[in-house]
């Protein structure tokens, strides 16, 4: 286990790109139905709609066969289930937990910041799914005009061990060595891993508020700095910091073709407003921008040259880069790169419109100053938030998460807001796993 925890880049992995819920949900449900030992699932959204009920039935069936099932949902994205729905899960033996669940104040949810935004499924330590697709009908075309465009990856190979270990046991397993070696592998990436051997080289990168606050952003920037021909970033909420933008500008100055695919029909209009603040600057740097206008864009993927690519849950905005708990797979593989690039190019040619400087309304000096201040203030929001006196975020069993606030103060706490609470049973299993391996 220690070897897997600090492995960084892994070789001989196999990946399959999954586009939207029509492809993603059947593959996940099938994998859960064939699980023999364990299912570990983390998600931001899980609704009691048709997709949510299918997931529930698959998990209940797996638990009924003796499979250990652990589910962690976000307390803001998935604030609660009906009694019948939750009882069906818990009666079957499914361990359902909630990250940072808190009561509303005057019907207003107060736990909006620092969310468990990862979307991960691991089956039997052999197969994993990582991406941006939640377990809701919103990711299926039949949902209508507001259905989302998104991606996930199905992966087998050594990297599944890293994914499983992090999701199952949290940061507390060899945290110090993980951090030290992770930085080492990030630094070595440009020189040592340009020519992959057989099978895809994959790194599982996470973002939390303790050991790995900038890993995903660092991996993006390393890829951008080493780009030779092209950079294509498809991101629903694009509002990165100036260092990220500086790397894009320098890439464009080197003659790299830089293309940003953003939302044109957003589920949250504020996302387009935030991104448009920097449109003029990006265009003046020689960066092309297109907007996806067919339906809401929810994707968080990118390809660089003919080798590098990433798929995951992290947007390029202050919440994902500075507060949320995120997970991305970074891939060095020409075949996977070509598949994802072809999909993006089809999307751009079919359903995107080009953004030009002429099409952006001119802003007064006062408005430009206001937008500049707003940009830098928003970018620093994540840093400022860490100094605000706040509660200790916890992962609780779903039944406990639904308890009144006065009762929750007596429940077990996690000393690390990025890691899961481990029960005594979990601790024994972790010790047994380390002994066996």
Catalytic residue numbers read 117, 119, 124, 298, 300, 305
| 81 token code pair | 């289930």
DSSP 139: G
CA 170 vs. chain centroid, Å, equals: 16
Both tokens of 290, joined, read: 């297109």
Rg of the chain over CA atoms, in angstroms?
21
HEC secondary structure over 231-242: EEEEECCECCCH
Whose structure tokens read 């970018």?
A: 379
Distance of CA 55 to the CA centre of its chain: 20
Residues 6+ apart with CB under 8 A from 344: 232, 234, 261, 301, 303
How is 63-127 classified by DSSP, letter by letter? Answer: HHTT-EEEEEEETTTS----HHHHHHHHHTT-EEEEES----BTTB----SS-B---EEEETTTE
For helices 215-225 and 242-253, give the axis angle rounded to 10 degrees.
10
Q: How far is CA 409 from CA 79, 384, 412, 414, in A?
A: 18, 26, 8, 12
- CA–chain centroid gap for 292, Å, is 20
Residues contacting 285, CB < 8 A, separation 6+: 245, 248, 249, 252, 253
């Amino acid at each position: 286990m220690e070897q897997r925890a600090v492995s960084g880049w892994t070789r001989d992995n196999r990946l399959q790109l999954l586009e939207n819920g029509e492809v993603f949900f059947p593959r996940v449900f099938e994998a859960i139905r064939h699980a023999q030992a364990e299912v570990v699932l983390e998600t931001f959204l899980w609704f009691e709609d048709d997709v949510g009920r299918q997931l529930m039935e698959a998990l209940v069936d797996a638990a009924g066969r003796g499979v250990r099932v652990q589910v962690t949902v976000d307390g803001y994205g998935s604030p609660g289930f009906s009694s019948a729905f939750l009882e069906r899960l818990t009666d079957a033996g499914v361990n359902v937990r909630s990250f940072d669940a808190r009561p509303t104040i005057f019907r207003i949810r107060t736990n909006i910041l620092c969310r468990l935004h990862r979307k991960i499924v691991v089956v039997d330590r052999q197969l994993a799914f990582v991406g941006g697709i939640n377990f809701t009908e919103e990711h299926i075309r039949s949902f209508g005009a507001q259905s989302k465009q998104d991606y996930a990856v199905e992966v087998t190979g050594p990297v599944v061990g890293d994914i499983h270990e992090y999701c199952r046991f949290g940061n507390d397993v060899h945290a110090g060595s993980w951090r030290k070696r992770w930085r080492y592998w990030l630094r070595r990436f440009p020189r040592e891993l340009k020519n992959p051997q057989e099978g895809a080289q994959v790194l599982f990168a996470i973002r939390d508020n303790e050991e790995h606050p900038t890993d995903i952003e660092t991996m993006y920037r390393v890829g951008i700095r080493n780009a030779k021909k092209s950079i294509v970033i498809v991101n629903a909420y694009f509002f990165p910091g100036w260092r990220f933008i500086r790397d894009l500008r320098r890439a464009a100055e080197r003659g790299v073709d830089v293309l940003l695919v953003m939302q044109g029909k957003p589920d949250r209009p504020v996302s387009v407003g935030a991104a448009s603040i920097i449109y003029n600057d990006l265009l003046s740097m020689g960066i092309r921008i297109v907007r996806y206008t067919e339906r809401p864009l929810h994707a968080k993927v990118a390809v660089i040259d003919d080798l590098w690519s990433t798929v995951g849950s992290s947007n390029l905005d202050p919440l994902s880069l500075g507060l949320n708990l995120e997970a991305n797979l970074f891939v060095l593989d020409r075949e996977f790169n070509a598949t994802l690039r072809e999909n993006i190019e089809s999307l751009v040619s079919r359903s995107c419109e080009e953004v030009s400087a002429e099409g952006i309304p001119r802003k007064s000096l006062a408005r430009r100053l206001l937008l500049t201040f707003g940009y830098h203030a928003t970018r620093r929001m994540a840093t400022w938030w860490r100094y605000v006196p706040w509660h200790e975020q916890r992962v609780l069993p779903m039944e406990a998460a639904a308890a009144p606030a006065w009762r929750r103060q007596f429940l077990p706490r996690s000393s690390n807001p990025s890691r899961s609470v481990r029960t005594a049973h979990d601790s024994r299993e972790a010790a047994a796993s380390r002994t066996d391996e």
